[in-house]
Amino acid sequence: MSQSFDEITAQLKRRHRKSARLKWMSMGALILAAAFLVVFIGDMLVKGLPAFQQAQVQVEVSYTEQSMQIPPAAVNDEVRNLVSRGYLRLIPGRMRDNPELMGTTRMEWVLADAEVDQYLKGHYTRLSDSQKRTVDRLEEAGRAELRFNTRFFTSGDSKMPELAGIASAAVGTVLTLIVTMLVSFPIGVMTAVYLEEFAPDNRLTQIIEININNLAAVPSILFGLLGLAIYINFFGVPRSTPLVGGLTLALMTLPVIIIATRTALRSVPDTIRQAAFGVGCSRWQVVRDHVLPLSLPGIMTGSIIGLAQAMGETAPLIIIGMVAFIPDVSTSFTNAATVMPAQIFTWAGEPERAFIEKTAGGILVLLAVLISLNASAVWMRKKFERRW
Amino acid sequence: MQTNQIFLLFCGVLLALGLAAFFMARAKATRTRASGTAMYAQPDQYAWFSVLTTAGPAVLVGVVGAFVMLLVGAEIPTPYLLSGSLVIAAVGLLFGMRQVRPDFHARQAIEKVIQVILATAAMVSILTTLGILISIVFEAIRFFQIQSFWDFITGTTWDPGASFLAAAGRADEAGSAAQFGSIPLFAGTFLITLIAMLVAIPVGLFAAIYMAEFAPDRIRTLAKPVLEVLAGIPTVVYGFFAAITVAPIVVDIAGWLGLEASYSNALAPGLVMGIMIIPFISSLSDDVITAVPDSMRQGSLALGMTKAETIKSVVLPASLPGIISASLLAVSRALGETMIVVMAAGMRPNLTANPLEDMTTVTVRIVAALTGDQEFESAETLSAFALGLVLFVVTLALNMVSVIMIRRFREKYRSNNL
Amino acid sequence: MNQQNADIETRPTHKHERTPGEPVNRNEDANHELSVRVRDLKLWYGNNQALKNINIDIYQKNVTALIGPSGCGKSTFLRCLNRMNDLIRSVRIQGLIEMDGRDVNDAKMDEVALRRRVGMVFQKPNPFPKSIYENIAYAPRMHDLVSRKAEQDELVERALRDAGLWNEVKDKLQEPGTSLSGGQQQRLCIARAIAVKPDVILMDEPTSALDPISTATIEDLMDKLKKQFTIVTVTHNMQQAARVADYTAFFHLGELIEYNDTRMMFSNPHTKKAEDYITGRYG
Ligand SMILES: Nc1ncnc2c1ncn2[C@@H]1O[C@H](COP(=O)(O)OP(=O)(O)OP(=O)(O)O)[C@@H](O)[C@H]1O
Ligand SMILES: [Mg+2]
């Protein structure tokens, strides 16, 4: 006769405790991972949100002959160091464009220096005590405040934090990704169609398949070496341009698109192919008219994910020189350009504290775009998911 | 500018020829058909065939010509090349028109061409691998012509400082010769990878166990996207996080414990890299754990095993090949990860096992070597390719082993959802 | 078309007043100590009722066979006996399943302890991806049934001998369990189940995935094992039920239609439905 329930239950106590421990540990791991995400996003928000605001001060600007020659003279010396040098530098130009300004003196809201900006945001600043008192006074009088930072979205890079923006990097990203997708999407889809629908099952096909899987796992920086040695040094594609960046990223995105497309093609049941063959379609017609349309959502989802990956890639672009300083937006594929993650990298290396918030601000923008891209891919997968 | 205009002109003429081919062939085929002759193919198919015969050879000639120019260095003036190509297009057009015959299988011909085009596209991925290999190997060979291979793999000092002088033929001016002993770089790389794995494997694996075995559906559907977001964060962002947030925390904690830590300590990039890899490990492990057939779990539970015992003694051993394979892939990722270490680890080659000191990695040195102002021919620049070669070989080997292991696992359980 | 009538139509064979759960006829060769008592058992998968008012007494050291058309709830019933249904989220259970004086579904009952005493053999052999030896030694070691290596070796050998597998595997105990043939794997699973010394062994179509010779071996085995264990088996094979079972229960659409001495069930069934099923008129 075996043991009774009570005996067994008593023996089991210890084992149940162990079992519970595994459950809590594994749950803890998941919570830990989620906590990392929360801490990380929180940290970026705290550091980056201030970047969307920028200090402005109201000062008296006198447009005189002297300020035409020496722009800083346009504002009185008490507040001179509180105004952005970038703004002052523009005064002669504005006077040339608007001659009626000459001789007038106006109260104007002007861009404040980054140090004032940091001071108003409560961060460490290099302002002297008397300058701080001046800013306090201006603030009390309602003559210094934080406003929405449009410039961050409309201007290019600058050595002065208060002037720096992400526009040129954003445009560079768009140009680069256009090249990337123009190259990798057709080649990727064609490769996948070939492998799934046409390729004979021979050694070459197997080599191609193994090769694609390996390519997906090659460290990204090595693609940069390829871009440098082959595109730039051998084919003479101009350095630092969206063209060479896009071509390099295209090779990295290729395996992602191929693998996603193959999965999508494979999920179309063979019965559909047989039905189409049955009504006399040729192999290509079957693919073009039946298989491809049915797998399009899967292909698009995979491509969006590939696009998002390419958008966040930095290492290979550094190697091919896309970390250039680009103050002006350029819309050419063959001019030097930078991309969002490269801009983030550049700013992260700047010594001024004000650039930390620019960096985090840029990160927030990039993350917002990436998360919406990925979310739309997930949404598409859900919406068009089909069970056969 | 001159070349650009010629090129535009070429494209325009080619486009016009193509359009002409399309409409002329279609018209001819329609006429033939209207006259009551039965044809093998549709007029549109003849039209497309003519377009192919017109544009295909012409473009091919252009591309081959360009390649010959680049490879052999032969100077074929661009206008000659392009006009030659246009002549070929015209010939192709005539040929295409001739082929608009009732007994010509235009559709089959088109499909042949399409298949060739698809196969060519499939070769691009092979070319990419070859491209990586060639670009790295050739430059690496040049490096090893200047520097001894033996010193490279056994040397413990990495000091390329004076190599640009050597390249400029002024080696004697440098105080000491450049040294390229890569051991400190690999030591740094492996230490940071080790730290990352110590974070990522336990957390990722346990998270996967929770998701696959314990979590109610609601949490599962919530946790998957969270992990996907974690996986979609660009590495440059992780790098910033490591450098600006984590490294100072590490220094503070170390100070509080009475230890001295550098601001570019190896711990911060290691930890953050670990976080980056968590979703990678957890999603791959989740896949293999759920692929273990339920009959295994039931068999164990029916013997009076608790859930944890079932997981530990049956599920995990069964999915071990998959988990190891995922971990190997993760190691390969960590070895090749660049941005986090470039931003948060040091630049100084430092042979130490203390993760609180600053140290550098292979990828950091590759970036440093290629972003400086050196001549491309300098030993330091070329050293980047030698390091890249080692990186390529190591990651390739890891990937291969991992692929073989996962294939074994899949065959064992014949699950097709991996 | 007279379905209702068929339900009511019974043949007057019982000599004494039966309690619900008792078989229609007693098998005088069988043991009649009670092992599991099931009263008014109802089970739902979500809103779909899979078991309706099941009453059955299962006796110790017998083979009880469950037969019935596909989808009638045999496996569901079997899984109730060791609470394997707990693994299916949508399941809801009412009624009493009593073993050793305890309600199996009671909140205080530990399902792990229950499964220690009620083992299970599945339709498809499912050896663990471990060595033959480990397949068997694993559970007894966890249950502290053995403390020394020698004891463990002895227990493994006993279980394999009882399962009739010892002679075939004694030279390759360290090879993986999956390297055996299907029939051997199934006997390995039986050996694994008996190694933890349960009271009851549940078998869900244990031979349906096997060839005739392996099937015969396992049938012989069941006959031997019933000296030590209570066996409840599901089968689609009438001959098998007739050969191995002392009592047979016929299920139909979630109901227990007839519970009877096996010989009577197959020679002179009590209900019309059972007769139709057994004579192959449907199902
Ligand atoms: N996991 C489940 N979820 C929902 N319904 C289920 C589940 N398992 C079984 N059912 C339903 O319960 C009923 C009984 O199923 P069960 O598996 O017990 O039948 P069975 O008699 O064992 O059949 P078979 O002879 O085919 O094995 C069926 O109608 C089935 O659809
Ligand atoms: Mg069943």
Residue B176: is its pLDDT beyond 90? no
As a whole number of angstroms, the distance between CA B84 and CA B123 comes to 28
Last residue of a domain, one of A115, A149, A183: A149
- What does the pLDDT read at residue B3? 64
Do B313 and B406 sit in the same domain of this protein? yes
Residue C207 identity (one-letter amino acid): T
Q: Does residue A1 lie in a domain region?
A: no
State pLDDT tens for residues C55-90: 999 999 999 999 999 999 999 999 999 999 988 889
Percent of chain B with pLDDT over 90: 37
Closest by CA position to C25, among listed C36, C17, C14 = C14
Determine whether the interchain pair B119/A194 forms a contact, defined as Cβ–Cβ distance below 8 Å: yes
Q: CA torsion, points A112, A117, A120, A123, in degrees to nearest 10?
A: -160
The Cα–Cα gap between B136 and A197 comes to 34
**B183 half-sphere exposure, CB direction, 13 A CA radius:** 11
Nearest to B385 among A43, A225, A342 (CB): A225
Q: How many residues does chain A have?
A: 388
Say if residue B104 is in the same domain as residue B248: no
Identify residues of C whose CB sits under 8 angstroms from chain A CBs.
Answer: 100, 102, 109-110, 112-114, 116-117, 142-144, 197-199
Chain A residues 81-100 with a CB less than 8 Å from chain C: none
Is B47 in contact with B29 (CB distance < 8 Å)? yes
pLDDT, mean over chain B: 84
Q: Which of B120, B140, B160 is the last residue of a domain?
A: B140
Is a pLDDT exceeding 90 seen at residue A316?
yes
User: Is the predicted pLDDT of residue B414 greater than 60, yes or no?
Assistant: no
If asked whether residues A188 and A332 sit together in one domain, one would say yes
Q: Which amino acid is at A229?
A: A
Between A340 and A125, the higher pLDDT residue:
A340
CB C73 within 8 A of CB C50: yes
With a Cβ cut-off of 6 Å, ligand 1 is lined by C 45, 50, 68, 70-76, 88, 90
Q: Beta strand pairing status for C48-59 and C34-45?
A: antiparallel
User: Which stretches within A218-314 are classed as H helix?
Assistant: 220-226, 242-266, 270-278, 283-286, 292-312
Asked whether residue A185 falls in the same domain as residue A233, the answer is yes
Ligand 1 atom nearest residue C88's Cα: 1
Residue type at C63 in one-letter notation: V
Chain segment B128-169, per-residue pLDDT in tens: 899 899 889 988 998 898 888 888 888 778 877 655 555 555
Q: Which residue CA neighbors atom 25 of ligand 1 most closely?
A: C70
Q: Is residue B153 part of a domain?
A: no
Who wins on pLDDT, B412 or B131?
B131
Residue B36, judged by CB atoms within 10 A of its CB (0-12, 13-18, 19+), counts as exposed
Asked if residue B395 and residue B256 are part of one domain, the reply reads yes
- Please give the distance, rounded to the nearest whole angstrom, from the Cα atom of residue C3 to the centre of ligand 1: 23
B118 shares a domain with B236: no
Q: Are residues B121 and B243 in the same domain?
A: no
Q: Rounded CA gap, C167 and C176, in Å?
A: 17
pLDDT tens, N- to C-terminus, chain C (283 residues): 444 444 444 555 555 567 888 888 888 888 889 999 999 999 999 999 999 999 999 999 999 999 999 999 999 999 999 999 988 889 999 999 999 888 999 888 899 999 999 999 999 999 998 899 999 999 999 888 888 899 999 999 999 998 889 999 999 999 988 889 988 999 999 999 999 999 999 999 998 888 888 889 889 999 999 999 999 999 998 899 999 999 999 999 999 999 999 999 999 898 999 999 988 876 5
The rounded distance, in Å, linking the Cα atoms of C218 and C214 is: 6
pLDDT for B90-136, tens place per residue? 888 888 777 777 777 777 788 888 888 899 899 888 898 998 998 89
**Looking at the 3D structure of chain B, how many domains does it have?**
2
Closest CA to B242 of B77, B160, B361, B385: B361
Question: Among A321-325, A364-368, B298-302, C183-187, whose mean pLDDT is lowest?
Answer: A321-325
Residue B192 counted as domain residue = yes
Residues of B in contact with A266 (CB under 8 A): none
How far is Cα A325 from Cα B209, in angstroms, rounded to an integer?
47
CA of C120 to the centre of ligand 2 (A): 13
* C45 lies within 8 A of chain B by CB: no
* Residue B255 CB-half CA count within 13 A: 8
Does one domain contain both B133 and B183? no
For a substitution probing ligand 1, which of C76, C234, C252, C277 has the most ligand atoms within 8 Å of its CB? C76
Closest protein CA for atom 20 of ligand 1 = C71
Report, in this order, helix, strand and coil percent for chain C, each rounded to 5. Answer: 35, 25, 40
CATH number, domain of A299, equals 1.10.3720.10
Domain shared by B113 and B206, yes or no: no
Strand, coil or helix: C168: helix
The two three-digit tokens of residue C153, written as one number: 């070796």
Instruction: Return the minimum-mean-pLDDT range out of A164-168, B41-45, B189-193.
Output: B41-45
Q: Which domain holds residue B106?
A: 2-140
CA distances from B9 to B14, B82, B128 (A): 8, 10, 31
Same domain flag for B191 and B280: yes
In a domain, A74, yes or no: yes
The reported pLDDT for the residue numbered B417 is 32
Report in angstroms the alpha-carbon separations of B183 from A345, B315, C113.
28, 40, 57
Greatest CA separation for chain A: 112
In this structure, the residue with its CA closest to atom 16 of ligand 1 is C73
Contact list in C for residue A9 (CB cut-off 8 A) is 110, 113
Whether residue A248 is found in the same domain as residue A124: no
Q: Which residues of A touch B211 (CB under 8 A)?
A: 30
Using the atom order of ligand 1, give the atom closest to the CA of residue C254.
Answer: 14
Residues A123 and A215 in one domain: no
CB atoms within 10 A of CB A22: 20
Q: Tell whether the model's pLDDT for residue B418 goes beyond 50.
A: no
Least confident of A94-103, B246-255, C62-71, C166-175: A94-103
Two tokens, residue B15: 């486009």
Kindly report the average pLDDT of chain A as a whole number: 89
Tell me the residue range of the domain where A61 lies.
50-94+106-149
Total domain count, chain A: 2
Q: Answer left, alpha or beta for residue C245, where phi above 0 means left and psi between -120 and 50 means alpha.
A: beta
Q: Which residue has the higher pLDDT, B49 or C192?
A: C192
Q: How many CB pairs under 8 A join A and C?
A: 29
Task: Tell me whether residue B168 is in a domain.
Answer: no
> Tokens 């696992």, residue?
B409
Cα separation, C221 vs C229, in Å, equals 12
Query: Which domains, from first to last, does chain C contain?
Result: 18-278 (3.40.50.300)
Weakest-pLDDT range from A361-370, B20-29, C136-145, C216-225: B20-29
Q: Are A342 and A317 spatial neighbours (Cβ–Cβ below 8 Å)?
A: yes
Per-window interface: B 196-255 vs A, CB < 8 A: 202-207, 209-211, 213-215, 219, 223, 225-230, 232-237, 239-241, 243-245
In the numeric block, which tokens belong to residue C15?
């000599």
Kindly determine whether residue C110 and residue A12, on different chains, have CB atoms separated by under 8 Å: yes
Beta strands, E only, chain A: 53-62, 105-111, 144-148
pLDDT digits (tens, 9 = 90+) for A1-59: 467 888 888 888 999 999 999 999 999 999 999 999 999 999 999 999 999 999 988 88
- Both ends of chain B: CA-CA distance in Å? 52
Q: Cα–Cα distance between C36 and C59 in angstroms, integer? A: 7
Based on the fold, state whether residues A140 and A181 are members of the same structural domain.
no
Same domain, A333 and A270: yes
The token pair at B303 is 């013997």
Predicted local confidence at residue B253, as pLDDT? 94
Contact indicator for B306, A18 with CB cutoff of 8 Å? yes
Mind telling me how many Å the CA of A92 is from chain B's nearest CA?
Answer: 35
The reply to whether A3 falls in a domain is no
| Nearest alpha carbon to residue B267 among B192, B329, B179 | B192
CB contacts, 8 Å: C129 with chain B: 296, 314, 317-318, 412
pLDDT of residue A38: 92
Nearest Cβ partner for C199 among A2, A9, A15 = A2
pLDDT tens per residue, range A168-218: 999 999 999 999 999 999 999 999 999 998 888 888 888 898 899 889 889
